[in-house]
Chains A and B, each alone.
Chain A
Amino acid sequence: MALATGVTATPGKQRVLRGGIYGMLVLGTVVFALPFLWMVSTALKASNEVFTFPPSFLPKSLHFGNFSDGWTVVPFTHFLINTVIVTGAAVVGNMVSCILPAYAFARLEARGKKVAFALMLATMMIPVEVTLVPTFIAFSKLGLVDTFWPLILPAWFGYAYFIFLLRQFFLTIPREYDEAARIDGAGYFRTLWSIVLPQSKPAIATVAVFAFVGNWNNLLGPIIYLRSQEKFTLAVGLQLFQGQFQTYYNQMMAVSLITLLPIIVIFLLAQRTFIEGANISGIGGR
């Protein structure tokens, strides 16, 4: 499809084209994968080898100890628990608070619906910074700075991008299905739960993965709201390797790799649904 949708005139020319495509893909893959491999290589190097000149691409000897040392020199088990709590609560909140409005926007009629929808789209254009300071002050007045609440609460009150995305999916499900359910006496909530949701599994999975990745990697919230070290999440905890005089790169990369594992696992599990799910068009009712 696309560019080289292509059966070109001669088979020879076509072979050249295919070779070119593979060549560019492999080249691109190498360029994109190199930083990853560098990360792995750094994680396995000895401390004094990270900063040798000229740098070596492969470690001279493998130091798997960086993983355990890095994990324990900073209380990462503790940070992991914090991250799981915050991410779990936020993802559940994202799902609940985005599915309901998305369904309403996709299926229900009401006066003011258009205005509400336009306002929702507009919120996507407001820079985070604009609302950041007053929100910080509000949480500070409520005495919630240095707690998990500023990281969890907003997730329970809708997130425009997710609502928008889910609405797009819901709109592709034939209306007849839920109208039939409605005629059979199911309420709106029941219709959403037993007709719309089961048909939007790719959409739900996509949003769930986006929400997981977004919250797991969330940096801005913890940097601004968390002060005491025992409340840190993994994302900010990694900062602690960056000392005033020295950065412990090998351990930091080792621990970064560990913290990436859950994301990579989730991504691989969801890969099919995820990549195909992002292609909203043509999902239809199956």
Chain B
Amino acid sequence: MPSDSRTAVAGQPVVETLTQVAEGGGDAPRARRRKHKLSPLAKREERRFWLFLLPWVIGFIGFGAGPLIGSIVLSLTNYSLLSAPKFTGLANYRRMFEDPLFYKSMANTAYFGIASVVLSVVFTLLIAILLNQNVQGLWFFRMIFYLPSVVAGIATALLWKNILDPDFGLINLVLGWFGIQGPGWLQSPQWSIAGLVLMSVWGAGNTIVIYLAGLQSIPATFYEAARLDGAGTWQRFRHVTIPMMSPVIFFNVITGLIGSLQAYVLILIMTGGPSSGSAGGPENSTLVIGLYIYRQAFQYYDFGYASALSWALFFVIMLITAIQFALAKRWVYYDGK
């Protein structure tokens, strides 16, 4: 399975459907006929539906729901793979609330998540608008901005580890050209997360593609109308682009936040390898919750505690997503409303 689930999202209709689903809508115009007894044809269609769905149903049970339940059970036990799980009730959760590293990792996660989402959502929107202009060599510009996200993975992490090196890295070299003494980045507790945020913005090409798709679906007539009304560039941006793009922005904020709250693989590589137990940066300054779960599970083999931590993360993500949906009513416009 792809490591970065966000690679798979694209396009405006995704947003529309999500909102349809969120609003309890959906697309079953033909559902009415099901009130009557099913015809043989409809029965056949129904059997075919579930047959076609079979791979996903098995996957849902095997790799989704099953492990989900397993994880609840594990979180109530003490388990290290070597001996049978021992039921310990809520001990893991109690331990969690007394664990300073739990709070530290949650704070780090919040810092990284908010900074990287705010920066990438704003920054990539501006880039997407630039890439949507009618200029020469557009394909070249689009490729440059999109490529980093395609090559994302270990190469990105290792490359950025080098780029952020305080003495031998690119960023401080460039800063030096302007007479600025760069910080220690990954080697300094104050700057380590900032370095990771820079990397995440660099690799946000998927967000750009999604924005581009959204921009292209704004009818040109809207801009014509605004111009006839005497709206200038800024006003058209403010009153046409932003409202029309709000469902897409919303989508990018939601998926971006979910993604960055879960991010840790690249952080693991950059701040200590999987082989070393030191992952997490100086003074645990890059120990995000995902990394802490990885450390507990796959370095200390404390699966029970790792499961409890995962549930804390799950809970936080659900809570934040729910808040986002509630707030969305105030600023996200769906067409015609």
Interface of A toward B, CB cutoff 8 Å: 1-8, 17-18, 21-22, 24-25, 28-29, 32-36, 38-39, 42, 50-55, 57, 90, 96-97, 100-101, 103-105, 108-111, 113-114, 116-121, 123-138, 140, 154-165, 168, 171-172, 188, 206-207, 210-211, 213-221, 223-224, 235-236, 238-239, 241-242, 244, 249, 252-253, 256, 259-260, 263-264, 267-268, 271, 275, 278-282
**CA of A39 to CA of B154 in the docked complex: distance in angstroms?**
13
Question: B310: which of A111, A133, A217 is its contact (CB, 8 Å)?
Answer: A133
Asked if B191 CB lies within 8 Å of chain A CBs, one says: no
Q: Min CB distance, A219 to chain B, in Å?
A: 5
Give the nearest-CB partner of A167 in chain B: B17
Q: Min CB distance, B113 to chain A, in Å?
A: 12
A100-B55 contact in complex given A35-B160, A42-B162, A159-B1, C-beta closer than 8 Å: yes
**CA of A18 to CA of B74 in the docked complex: distance in angstroms?**
60
Asked if B262 CB lies within 8 Å of chain A CBs, one says: yes
> Which residues of the partner chain B approach A128 to less than 8 Å between Cβ atoms?
262
Can you list the 9 inter-chain pairs with the closest CB atoms, starting with the nearest?
A214-B2, A157-B59, A161-B8, A134-B70, A217-B153, A158-B56, A131-B67, A104-B52, A110-B49
Contact indicator A32/B71 (Cβ below 8 Å): no
Contact indicator A256/B159 (Cβ below 8 Å): yes
> Which residues of the partner chain A approach B321 to less than 8 Å between Cβ atoms?
125
A223-B55 contact in complex given A28-B130, A214-B7, A215-B2, C-beta closer than 8 Å: no
Question: B159: which of A22, A39, A125, A163 is its contact (CB, 8 Å)?
Answer: A39
> Which residues of the partner chain B approach A238 to less than 8 Å between Cβ atoms?
154-155, 158
**CA of A165 to CA of B142 in the docked complex: distance in angstroms?**
22
Contact indicator A214/B3 (Cβ below 8 Å): yes
Query: Which residues of B, 232-272, contact A by the 8 Å Cβ criterion?
Result: 232-233, 236-237, 241, 258, 261-262, 265-266, 268-269
> Which residues of the partner chain A approach B2 to less than 8 Å between Cβ atoms?
159, 210-211, 213-215, 217-218
Asked if B283 CB lies within 8 Å of chain A CBs, one says: no
Contact indicator B153/A132 (Cβ below 8 Å): no
| Extra contacts besides A123-B60, A252-B158 (10): CB < 8 Å | A36-B147, A55-B170, A97-B59, A100-B54, A110-B46, A157-B55, A164-B9, A217-B152, A217-B154, A280-B12
Question: A249: which of B18, B162, B311 is its contact (CB, 8 Å)?
Answer: B162
**CA of A96 to CA of B52 in the docked complex: distance in angstroms?**
10
Which of the 9-residue segments B88-96, B215-223, B326-334 touches chain A? B215-223
Q: Min CB distance, B3 to chain A, in Å?
A: 5
Q: Min CB distance, B284 to chain A, in Å?
A: 18
Q: CB-CB contacts of B21-40 with A at 8 A, as 1s and 0s?
A: 10000111011001000000
Main secondary structure on A side of the interface with B = helix
**CA of A165 to CA of B37 in the docked complex: distance in angstroms?**
33
How many pairs of A and B residues are in contact by the CB < 8 Å rule? 376
Q: CB-CB contacts of B270-306 with A at 8 A, as 1s and 0s?
A: 0001111000000000000010011001100001001
Quick one: which of B14, B49, B202 has the most chain A CB within 10 A? B49
Quick one: which of B52, B146, B160, B258 has the most chain A CB within 10 A? B52
Contact indicator B64/A28 (Cβ below 8 Å): no
Question: B158: which of A1, A4, A256 is its contact (CB, 8 Å)?
Answer: A256
Quick one: which of A103, A239, A282 has the most chain B CB within 10 A? A239
Query: Which residues of B, 60-112, contact A by the 8 Å Cβ criterion?
Result: 60, 62-64, 66-68, 70-71, 74, 81
**CA of A241 to CA of B145 in the docked complex: distance in angstroms?**
28
Contact indicator B42/A164 (Cβ below 8 Å): no
**CA of A5 to CA of B42 in the docked complex: distance in angstroms?**
50
